[in-house]
Chain A
Amino acid sequence: MNEELELFLEDMNDQLSIMENTLLDISDISLEEVNKDMIDNVFRAMHTMKGNAGIFGYKTIVDFAHQAESLLDELRNNRISLTHEMIDLFLLINDHSKQLIEVTIKDEQLNDEQLIEHKNLLKSLSSLLNEEDVEVIDNISLGNSVRYRINVELLEDFFKSGMDLLTIMKYLDALGTVIDLKLITDDIPPFNELNPTLAYVKLSFEYETCEAKSEIIDAFEFVVEDIELNIEKIEVKKELDVDIDNIEIVNIKTPKKDDFSPKNILSNNFNLKVDSLKIDKLINQMSELVIANAKITEHAVNSGNTDFQEAVDDMSDILEDVRNGVMNIRMVQVSDSFTKLRRIVSEATKNTNKEINFEILGGETELDKTVIEKILDPLVHIIRNSVDHGIETSDKRIKNGKTAKGSIVLKAYHDSGTIVIQIIDDGYGINKEIVLNKAIEKNLISKDANLSDKEIYDLIFMPGFSTAEKISDISGRGVGMDVVKRNIEELRGEVHIDSKLGFGTTIKIRLPLTLAIIDGFLVESSKLKFIIPLDSIQECIEFTSSDKEEIEQKGYMTLRSNILPILDISKHFSEPETEQKRKNIVVVKYDDYKVGLKVDELYGEFQTVIKPLGTLFKNVTDISGGTLLGNGDIALILDIQKLIEHKITHKEIENGN
């Protein structure tokens, strides 16, 4: 697929997502609460899709979008009233548009089933437009074509608009028929006097279309300030030998009826679409720059030249800002992708006769786009499970003293340099006995296994595990939760379940914010350099002789009346302990746990480019990667999550001496 088509597809998907999201908002409230902005949103998305498709000459999409847009136009002008059937129809239109776009860009045809759906949807739209005796027929002139004479004079700076005339002509071609086009080239100067960046030509043609005149003007809306446009309705179809100099030129501006024309939207809220490969390349180059900067910093420190050091410090600060800016390009709000999940709940609710209120909290939370794309499928699976197995039917809920309407909350927030996504339902909860029995029945565990609650819930992530009494269309066939866990772990994330029988279940996913560069804290232990992710550090404290005594006696130290388990990094990695007068404790936090890491030296903040360590280190679970220091040495990046988890589950917190 070429770059232009990729951008087209991306923009169409954005518009479909806006439309779907708004329709779901509308379906969540009563018809009386639906406001004009919501209808305008849907109209705008459909209008933009039509325009985009027109530019590429995709007539089927243009025609389909046009019909839907006409009905939306009636709604936003209060000529007809919104009904629940219409909301369902627009959701179906949204789905069908996705198929239509997919088929069209592949240059394929709709299959029989899709074709029937296409016709049925158009029929429904026409019927809704006609049933209400809408006065739109004159406007859209269904079936009655009108012929226009169109003259376009390009103003000198036309090319600066960035628009290509061919694109506009393709759009017009999708809406009607261009007849007898003449390119008037008389004003082009002799070759030696030509300024190639200025426009000199005019166009004159007849145009037959069923569309309203405003639609023709819309085709020129991006260049309206760079042309003189004259459109005249002509009654008789005949060849006209037009002398453009004798035509009175009227500069027609796009009517202001659409304050939200794509051009206006662009000028208010400018978005630039960039190939993600270009951003990846930029991030890679940024990584190299960070490493190069570390080398320069090392030289500056060794030189003893304070001016040089200051200059390097300034450069490092700027580099950090630039780095954050570059990394932010990849960060997108999770809410856009979560729309798909709303739809799933909405559809599943209809299929199961359950009433469910689905709420997204923290939708503005940002995450790397790559991570979002990869997490979406696991989330779909979890949400489907919640709808199918988690939430009870209204009857059962009322019987159990709950509200008739169940609740699923999708919550996203940042915590300790990670993003946490929770799926919380107030349904049945998980019956540990059933899970245990099922696991025993499937020979996943022995009969006498003594498991903690967490270990019991983790059984659900084992391959092939399912407690569903019957297979449903929604949650599948009991395969998938193992895949869910694997996908999350591939993103260096983790997933846990917590549940209370009768009250509901919470599934908690924790993911790294980014996969490329982090703010780290450089430390040394047994002559080895380590990086601790800065976001996980709570504080650094000196390791005193009284701390040493306490740890030797109790196995932990007391920090402001709280117990702090200590992990000696040199012991943990089986390195010989060095004779160091002063030792330090770095207090790190992950989830609800805190641990003190005992190290020799603290060097401070360090911009860390995460590099994979290769197969040699594949069994070292507590190291998440490596990074290159300014002097060429390698520092290992501690995986705080794994380090704490491993130590706590194995109850191996060292005595820290």
Chain B
Amino acid sequence: MKIIFDELCIQEVDSFYKILKQELSILQGNPLILDFSNVEKIDMSAIQVLISLKKQCEISNIDLIYLNMNSPQVQSSIDTFNLNEDLGLKS
């Protein structure tokens, strides 16, 4: 799933959450792939959603794969808050 937002912040987080919820309901055993190529910026509200999503995927045995998390600001958030483990990223 390619994330359509260029910023994942408080203004977008509700829509983002609803999209993820819908995506989860139609996966039928397939991995959930999140493509961040559009995303330039992420804030703590969206990080919370991703952490909760990761826990949900673990419970439901769904593989969660992140693609193209390349934006400097997204990387900066991951590094500043030491999110590799929380999000299940390779450190």
- Give the B-binding residues of A (Cβ under 8 A): 154, 158-160, 162, 164-166, 169-170, 173, 178, 181-183, 185, 188-192, 194, 196-197, 199-201, 203
Contact = CB atoms under 8 A, between A and B. Distances in A.
Contact of A183 (B21, B49, B56, B81): B81
A554 B77 CA distance: 83
Interface of A is mostly: mixed
Contact of A196 (B45, B55, B80): B45
B13 interface: yes
B52 A194 contact: yes
A169 B80 contact: yes
Contacts of B45: 159, 196-197, 199
Contacts, number: 78
Q: For this complex, into which size category does the number of interface residues on chain B fall?
A: 20 to 34
Given A162-B10, A191-B56, A196-B45, 9 more contacts: A166-B73, A181-B81, A185-B86, A190-B56, A197-B45, A199-B44, A200-B48, A201-B47, A203-B81
A159 B86 contact: no
Contacts of B51: 185, 188
A166 B77 contact: yes
A191 B81 CA distance: 21
B49 A197 contact: no
A640 B9 CA distance: 54
CB-based closest 8 A-B pairs: A191-B56, A196-B17, A159-B10, A196-B13, A191-B52, A164-B43, A165-B44, A183-B81
B56 to A, nearest CB: 4
A192 B49 CA distance: 10
Contacts of A200: 48
A190 B57 CA distance: 11
Contact of B52 (A154, A166, A188): A188
B60 to A, nearest CB: 9
A518 to B, nearest CB: 38
A192 B76 CA distance: 28
30 contacts: A158-B44, A160-B10, A164-B9, A164-B43, A165-B43, A166-B43, A166-B44, A169-B80, A170-B80, A178-B80, A181-B81, A183-B81, A183-B82, A183-B86, A188-B55, A191-B21, A191-B52, A191-B53, A191-B56, A192-B21, A194-B17, A194-B48, A196-B13, A196-B14, A196-B45, A196-B46, A197-B45, A199-B44, A200-B48, A201-B47
A190 B52 contact: yes
A101 B10 CA distance: 30
A475 to B, nearest CB: 47
B10 A166 contact: no
A194 B76 CA distance: 25
Contacts of A181: 80-82
B77 to A, nearest CB: 5
A188 B43 contact: no
B86 A197 contact: no
Contacts of A166: 43-44, 73, 76-77, 80-81
B16 interface: yes
B3 interface: no
Nearest to B43: A164
A200 B10 CA distance: 14
